[in-house]
Structure 1
Amino acid sequence: MHILDTFLIHYLHRFDKYCFTVELHDKKYTIGSGQPLFNVVIHKDIPKRELLSSTSLALGEAYMRKDLEIEGDLFTALQCILSQTSQFSLDKSALKRILYTPESKSYQKQQVSSHYDLGNDFYQLWLDPSMSYSCAYFKQEDDTLEQAQHNKVHYILEKLHLQPGMSLLDIGCGWGYLLIEAAQKYGVKGYGCTLSHEQWKKGQERIEALGLQGQVQIDLIDYRDLIKEGRTYDRIVSVGMLEHVGRSNYSIYMETADHLLKDGGLFLLHYISGLDESVGNPWMRKYIFPGGTLPSLREIINVAYNCDFRVIDVESLRRHYYKTLMCWYDNFQKVHDQVAAERGEEFVRMWDLYLCGCAAAFYIGNIDLHQVLMTKGVNNELPMTRWY
């Protein structure tokens, strides 16, 4: 056996909680004991230096380039490997440019655009018709993705205890579906902000098509600039945006929401949470969400109470996000050829790994999805029991 083969097989033995096989240079090796669950085929050597620098980056890039292939179910393979992240290598000093990116307005606008401005045509291929790109809510086992996304939006709107004539701010409003539903079904006046030009453009088209110009407004603006506009709101919601704020800006984010919300108002924060305050996955930060950071529940609760917020409910929707991601992954499989023709096979494999890997991470509990409902100050006018 070549010395590099010896190292690679030895390295992979640290992931022996589950049994799988590895094919390398016409030889097959077994990792773990029992019946193999999948087979890893390595077509090209993975440099030792890269593996020791970052397991996720080295294996992820090898998969993207097709230097590494999985024979068997990709979800099963990722579930097995990601359940052993304590065995991953990570040299933070070697990855400073990926792990510690600037969190200024200009950099974050670029980071958001790099993901969300891939084009509305791309996202329309595999999202549901509402263009909802966040965790759905499956009230029934057989809910379609479209129904589950509708459920999610209205579950959030119910939690916000909306009344006709109220003002609602959506920080990071995406393509505007939640604001439009709130305006049409609850009679509120909606205001949204986004840094994605593509999302803003689609939002304008939807508002005009529905004749909601006087009731819903979406601006291409950083949330940190909202205070300058001098408005305050009865309700604030933020869905899947906190992950892009950056750890150094959590206090600014919460203080901004505090400033914009009227006394007694409700704030619903819906975000992907990490189990701790780590810097995150290098592969995800390099290829999927540059600058993305997952805040832990405890640090967000702490920051909220540093302001004038009072938490009245917290709910985990972890398993709902697993199911949402598997729906997206299945939809994406159906458009592989079209996406590959436009963007290349490496892009397709990257998105396969992203969607399926996140599904596995939620399924095994490496990450979570929390909805945190808060009031600004004390509100004794709300029902004493859950109304949703």
Structure 2
Amino acid sequence: MHIFDTFLIHYLQRFDEYCFTVKLHGKTYTVGEGTPLFNLVFNRDISKKELLTSTSLSLGEAYMRKDLEIEGDLFTALRCLLSQNDRFSLEKSALGYLLHSSESKADQKKMVSSHYDLGNDFYGLWLDPSMSYSCAYFKNDTDTLETAQHNKIYYTLEKLHLKKGMKLLDIGCGWGYLLIEAVQKYGVKGYGCTLSREQWKKGQERIKALGLEGQVRIDLIDYRDLAEEGRKYDRIVSVGMIEHVGRSNYSLYMKTASHMLKKGGLFLLHYISGHDESVGNPWMRKYIFPGGMLPSLREIIAKAYDYDFQVIDVESLRRHYYRTLMCWYHNFQAVREQVIADKGEEFARMWELYLCGCAVSFQIGNIDVHQILMTKGTNNELPMIRWY
């Protein structure tokens, strides 16, 4: 046998940039040099095959089952490990069913629903009252999550340079808050589409409660089907939706948006971006966002120019998303017992790993979030300086 008792202990030695301890079978091992920052406690060994097939999947599932527990701060532990993700193993050939899932219309609807239809009551526990489930915008250090989400909505709408009477389309409109605010503040006509029945239902309730039936419309429909209706819009916005369309559909997505936007119109695309065109994290794709894919900035910019868009501004909101996720994570921890009572402890451990892990990924720069502002063709009518 190797000098280490198991392959797991040997394998974890590669993550030696930071010091931590590993406890297994009653023994304690130290990784790295210095004072340990946290302890990994394994209540069950993990096989060589599992670790080499996918480090993220094997350790993530172990944490969900409580086969792995962390003594110390979860954020610190994830930060130390994820900052060394170039040392993770991934055998793509063994995980084709996860990494290359179907990108058909029917399958995408199922995958989107699996995440967003967990229930409005569940999301209402830890999101802010606006039910905004995307990056907030912290203008001041003292901003609460609710304030920052309002900031994000207004900042996004300002970028669209809206005028009364314009038609605004929100592709993947969620619970409808952005559309409703646009209608109330700017007097535009709002249209939205979503594949989530729960989001659609909440959107209808909001529209009715505010008496906006004639000004805001949200359909439970695929954006490609919406395009077939032949409507043209002055402005299009899409927040956190292109991550779900799949790499093979990026061209179709941009083509569809271009087809629905009037000449000279503005398109604001807000999305989580990867640094490369990788297939993604297996654990995230299996448990959190089935079929999810993070476009790189370069490929979206290239697709934009393929379909008559001209990019006029790009902004990174990476550090804002780190702070947003930490707010969500702390909110979730405050209602953790309630979630366990409703959905079980394994689900709660999965969700806290997702929220905290994403916060880490934004904080260390493994992923980013961008707002890209584009015009359909040339627009010489906009202010010559950033007006927002």
Which TM-score tier does this pair reach, normalised by the shorter chain? Answer: over 0.9
**Preserved contact between residue 101 and residue 291 of structure 1 (Cα < 8 Å):** yes
User: Hey, what does 1:77 align to over in structure 2?
Assistant: 77
Match status 1:338 vs 2:338? yes
**Preserved contact between residue 7 and residue 47 of structure 2 (Cα < 8 Å):** no
User: Hey, what does 2:54 align to over in structure 1?
Assistant: 54
| Rounded Cα–Cα distance in structure 2 between residues aligned with 1:283 and 1:142 | 34
Inter-CA distance 143–361: structure 2 relative to 1 (3 Å threshold): same
| Rounded Cα–Cα distance in structure 1 between residues aligned with 2:319 and 2:10 | 34
Match status 1:228 vs 2:207? no
User: Hey, what does 1:102 align to over in structure 2?
Assistant: 102
User: Hey, what does 1:306 align to over in structure 2?
Assistant: 306
Q: Which amino acid aligns with 1:290?
A: P
* SS of residue paired to 1:14: coil
Q: Which amino acid aligns with 1:243?
A: E
* SS of residue paired to 2:139: coil
| Rounded Cα–Cα distance in structure 2 between residues aligned with 1:6 and 1:200 | 50
User: Hey, what does 1:31 align to over in structure 2?
Assistant: 31
Aligned sequence identity (%):
79
Deviating 4+ runs (over 2 angstroms): 1-6
**Preserved contact between residue 19 and residue 36 of structure 1 (Cα < 8 Å):** yes
User: Hey, what does 2:185 align to over in structure 1?
Assistant: 185
**Preserved contact between residue 172 and residue 195 of structure 2 (Cα < 8 Å):** yes
1:170-181 pair list within 5 angstroms: 170-181=170-181
1:227 Cα shift? 1.8
Q: Which amino acid aligns with 2:178?
A: L
Q: Which amino acid aligns with 2:335?
A: V
Superposed CA deviations along residues 330-370 of structure 1, whole A, max 9, x for unmatched, are 00001111110111100000000000000000000000000
Superposed CA deviations along residues 185-234 of structure 1, whole A, max 9, x for unmatched, are 01100000000000000000000000000000000000111121110000
User: Hey, what does 1:40 align to over in structure 2?
Assistant: 40
Superposed CA deviations along residues 119-166 of structure 1, whole A, max 9, x for unmatched, are 000000000000000000000001000000000000000000001111
User: Hey, what does 2:322 align to over in structure 1?
Assistant: 322
User: Hey, what does 2:257 align to over in structure 1?
Assistant: 257
Gapped regions of structure 1 (runs ≥ 5): none
1:53-202 pair list within 5 angstroms: 53-202=53-202
1:3 Cα shift? 8.2
Match status 1:14 vs 2:14? yes
1:4 Cα shift? 7.9
User: Hey, what does 1:208 align to over in structure 2?
Assistant: 208
* SS of residue paired to 1:265: strand
Match status 1:381 vs 2:381? yes
1:5 Cα shift? 3.4
1:310 Cα shift? 0.2
| Rounded Cα–Cα distance in structure 1 between residues aligned with 2:187 and 2:71 | 52
**Preserved contact between residue 173 and residue 194 of structure 2 (Cα < 8 Å):** yes
| Rounded Cα–Cα distance in structure 1 between residues aligned with 2:312 and 2:377 | 11
1:35 Cα shift? 1.1
In the comparison of the two structures, how many residue pairs are matched? 388
**Preserved contact between residue 168 and residue 190 of structure 1 (Cα < 8 Å):** yes
**Preserved contact between residue 175 and residue 199 of structure 1 (Cα < 8 Å):** yes
| Rounded Cα–Cα distance in structure 2 between residues aligned with 1:199 and 1:227 | 20
* SS of residue paired to 2:109: helix
1:6 Cα shift? 3.1
| Rounded Cα–Cα distance in structure 1 between residues aligned with 2:118 and 2:317 | 27
1:48 Cα shift? 1.2
1:50 Cα shift? 0.6
Inter-CA distance 4–248: structure 2 relative to 1 (3 Å threshold): farther
**Preserved contact between residue 273 and residue 294 of structure 1 (Cα < 8 Å):** yes
For the aligned residues, what is the CA RMSD?
0.9
TM-score (norm 2): 0.99
* SS of residue paired to 1:10: helix
Inter-CA distance 263–358: structure 2 relative to 1 (3 Å threshold): same
| Rounded Cα–Cα distance in structure 2 between residues aligned with 1:168 and 1:91 | 44
Q: Which amino acid aligns with 1:305?
A: Y
**Preserved contact between residue 5 and residue 24 of structure 1 (Cα < 8 Å):** no
TM-score (norm 1): 0.99
* SS of residue paired to 1:15: coil
